A and B are shown apart, each in its own frame.
Chain A
Amino acid sequence: MPTPYERPAALPEARAAERRASRPTLTRPRQGRVVAGVCVGLAEHLGWPLWLLRVGFVLLSFPTGAGLVAYVFLWALTRREDGTARRKADPADAEGLAAASTEGSGTETPEVAARREATRVLLVGGLLLVVGLVVVSQNSGLNARLGILVPLLVVAVGAVIAWSQLDDAQRGRWLGSETGTRRFSLARLVFGGVLALTGLVIMATRGRSLAAIWDIGAAVLAVLAGIALIAAPWALRLWADLRHEQAERARATERADIAAHLHDSVLQTLALIQRKADDPAAVIQLSRAQERELRSWLYAGPTGSDATLAAAVAEAAHEVEDLHGIPVDVVSTGDRPLDDGGQALVRAVRESLLNAVRHGAPPVSVYLEVGAQGAEAFVRDHGPGFELEDVPPDRLGVRQSILGRMERHGGSARVRRLEQGTEVSLALPAAVAPSPQPTEALPQPAPARPQPTEAPPQHVPAGPQPAEARPRTTEEDREATGVRPAFDPTQEGTREHA
């Protein structure tokens, strides 16, 4: 399977393109054009003088109409230039220069527009003159086969009208929002088509009776229907094949993207793991980091940016994990934009995690809960327990960077020694760190859930305690009554030490 790394075919192509680059591609500029910009584009492309081409086209059109046909052909096949004025390359063309210097694209100065209008009038006048000449010559006995010329002219005009519609379609205007434009272009299309069809019919029925026309019409319809019937399966097949190929190409591109990603990430990590097979810690660390990376790629991560509290906490946990090679599990519910208080909470979580991985034992986990009442974070390890006396300098760190920091931001922190391990609880009330843009501003990982309209106490005036307050009250009650011999009481009261 070709990966995006190998593109041997692209090289000669690129070189050829480089060679071609000196010559602008054949497009139809919008500025400086008289009819459709074919001459202007051609002049630019070939590097020939504009007037020469214009005169050439007009002269070629006279005897046989070859110039006209060539013009229409080029018109149909050439792409319109995408608005940008890049015609400064041709200094001889004052029109283009003026247009390019005064504005980027589209609109033109009145002067230029007037000049163009004049050219058009001239053109139409010339056309009428030709028609008149033909009629006159007809009258004076010269057989100019008017019977063919007039219908041909009608067909040409109809085709021009219809094609100019297509031209506009390229501009994307027919998908335009204004229905008026759309209706107008549709009318133009229909009008052009009818005109061309009429011309064709007149040409085909020269000098015949109405009954004959009817017969011919029926025959044509029958033939057309037959062709449609025969060609339909083939056309459908072609269409289906085209769609299939497009889908296939899209899939191949996607597969190449995936291959590239896996190559850069998973395969590299696997190679590293094989090389470090005798170092279990390194293997674990590598695979954890890779797992995280792959997960965030597959499931678009928690949020991808650290603009929200949950993402920032997850990032801090990953950082600690990478630093010490001890896995840290993060669970979070709810989210909110990262403000000053949130930042303090993240730093405190990080510090607690560092403590946990240094002095505790895995599994180390973080639980973050962001609700209407505030944010709470719990950092837990399963070590022998957090002994204040053992590490005084570290304790200072805990005091300063966890307890002190949280209190400075109106929150609170508590270190609890559990039966197995230690848990640091951090709380940050929403009232102290009011987020000016509440929950609707943040990206919801889950489908948007209806936010509670009011805090629970409103619903339950005299009922049980709102659940937000419940754990704290029960814990504090227990602490007050001293029911909890399993927990170090000094740990409970660390706030006073700070």
Chain B
Amino acid sequence: MNTPERSPVEVVLVDDHRMFRSGVRAELGDSVRIVGEAPDVDTAVAVIRATRPPVVLLDVHLPGGNGNGGVDVLHGCRGLETADGRPVRFLALSVSDAAEDVIAVIRAGARGYVTKTISATDLTRAIQRVADGDAVFSPRLAGFVLDAFGAAAGEVAQVDEELDRLSAREREVMRLIARGYQYKEVAKELFISVKTVETHVSSVLRKLQLSSRHELTAWAMGRRLL
């Protein structure tokens, strides 16, 4: 997956802590190139619109905008595409474990969520995955998803297209991610390919964004997203 010859992913880094930005800049290796930085919502929207990077690393809590932090950036950059016609994708970064924050940015369109304690190699991998159009789920986000879709309580969709519940396979994938498994390990465990795992995760992400399940809408309502 980590092909060495691929060109570095261009990334805009949005975070209001300069120390964190310089830390990430120093940590990320050659496979990621930071083309822009922004400390608040308005600068972020301007920088992203100007550079149109394939990936934006987006802090959930930001000053400015309408006071909704990263969600405002996502709304401000809706429908934006890179120079070669791919959508600008967002990876949410946060120190917060609060479910409503996470669900809010995901529902606003972020392709994944990782905590700021993530290691540099994992972050690089996550950025590449998002650049490829896949979703990135941290164990904690997987836990949220299982909780929010009632999967832990045994609710399983009968049809894959059902938006309000996870399919049995998606649930399995989420469970393994929550257990701390990498995609590769999940694939091995379930005897499926990594690509299939990614498909399942993306499908879960889609459900997370589109579902009208009560808990999700309640969370979103709490952040005035609807």
Contact = CB atoms under 8 A, between A and B. Distances in A.
A331 interface: yes
B188 A419 contact: yes
Interface string B127-144: 000000000000110111
B156 interface: yes
A455 B158 CA distance: 13
B1 interface: no
Interface stretch (A114-122, A467-475, A490-498): A467-475
B180 A380 contact: yes
Given A331-B140, A380-B179, A380-B180, A419 B154 contact: no
B29 to A, nearest CB: 20
A363 B215 contact: no
Contacts of B178: 331, 333, 367, 369
Contacts of B98: 299
A378 B172 contact: no
B171 interface: yes
Given A299-B98, A380-B180, A423-B179, A369 B168 contact: no
Of B96, B139, B142, B190, the most chain A CB neighbours within 10 A belong to B139
B152 A466 contact: no
Interface string A438-475: 00000001110111100110011001111110110010
Contacts of A306: none
B139 A299 contact: no
B63 interface: no
Nearest to B119: A363
B153 interface: yes
A382 to B, nearest CB: 8
Contact of B150 (A332, A370, A450, A466): A450
Nearest to A302: B97
B152 A367 contact: no
A88 interface: no
A456 B143 contact: no
Contacts of B140: 329, 331
Nearest to B217: A447
A366 B65 CA distance: 37
A367 B179 contact: yes
B218 interface: yes
B162 interface: no
A373 interface: yes
B142 A370 contact: no
Contacts of B214: 447, 449-450
Instruction: Determine the main DSSP class of B at the interface with A.
Output: helix
Interface string A352-376: 0000000000010101011111000
A244 interface: no
Interface string B106-140: 00000000000100000000000000000000011
Nearest to B218: A447
Of B96, B154, B158, B178, the most chain A CB neighbours within 10 A belong to B154
A459 to B, nearest CB: 7
A423 B215 CA distance: 31
A363 B180 contact: yes
Contact of A452 (B153, B171, B179): B153
B81 interface: no
B14 interface: no
Contacts of B117: 327
Nearest to B141: A331
Given A464-B168, A467-B172, A471-B175, A295 B97 contact: yes
B92 interface: no
Contacts of B175: 367, 369, 471
A333 B154 contact: no
B21 to A, nearest CB: 19
A334 interface: yes
A334 B156 contact: no
A418 interface: yes
B57 interface: no
A286 to B, nearest CB: 15
Interface in A141-173: none
B24 interface: no
A90 to B, nearest CB: 58
Contacts of A371: 152-154
B148 interface: yes
A449 B219 CA distance: 12
Interface in B66-124: 96-99, 117
A438 to B, nearest CB: 11
B185 A418 contact: yes
Nearest to A447: B218
B155 interface: yes
Contacts of B171: 467
Nearest to A454: B154
A373 B96 CA distance: 31
B156 A466 contact: yes
Given A332-B143, A333-B178, A446-B99, A456 B156 contact: yes
Interface in A319-365: 327, 329, 331-334, 363, 365
B38 interface: no
A367 B156 contact: no
11 contacts: A329-B139, A332-B143, A333-B178, A365-B180, A418-B185, A447-B214, A447-B218, A452-B150, A467-B154, A470-B172, A474-B190
Given A465-B168, A470-B172, 11 more contacts: A331-B178, A365-B179, A367-B175, A371-B153, A380-B179, A380-B180, A446-B215, A447-B218, A452-B153, A452-B154, A463-B158
Interface of B: 96-99, 117, 139-140, 142-144, 146-148, 150-156, 158, 168, 171-172, 175, 178-180, 185, 188, 190, 214-215, 218-219
